[in-house]
């Protein structure tokens, strides 16, 4: 994989988490380091997320992926 493709692929994962209001780069990095992918993060329970980033941030992330309106961009 070329350098530029690596940079782009890393950015795509982080950008989705960083698009969540209240979640910054450090929190996104922390979640990705623990759970490896946005897909895995999406499937975690609120308690599993809270064990890594605390309840307040975990709730923000969990609500984003589990909102009833499903208003998040695909």
Which of 1.10.540.10, 1.10.150.20, 1.10.3210.10, 3.30.70.1400 is the CATH number of 3-66? 1.10.150.20
Structure-block tokens of residue 22 = 């209240």
Residue 27 has pLDDT above 80, yes or no: yes
Domain boundaries, the chain: 3-66
pLDDT tens-digit profile of 34-47?
Answer: 999 999 999 999 99
* DSSP secondary structure letter of residue 22: T
| pLDDT tens by residue, 6-23 | 666 655 544 688 889 999
pLDDT at residue 60, as a whole number: 96
Q: Are 18 and 24 contacting, i.e. CB atoms less than 8 angstroms apart?
A: yes
pLDDT at 70 over 50: yes
């Amino acid at each position: 994989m070329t350098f530029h493709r690596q940079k782009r692929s890393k950015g795509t994962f982080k950008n989705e988490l960083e698009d969540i209001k209240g979640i910054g780069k450090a929190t996104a990095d922390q979640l990705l380091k623990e759970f490896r992918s946005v897909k895995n993060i999406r499937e975690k329970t609120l308690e599993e997320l809270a064990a890594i980033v605390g309840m307040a941030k975990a709730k923000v992330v969990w609500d984003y992926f589990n909102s009833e309106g499903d208003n998040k961009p695909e």
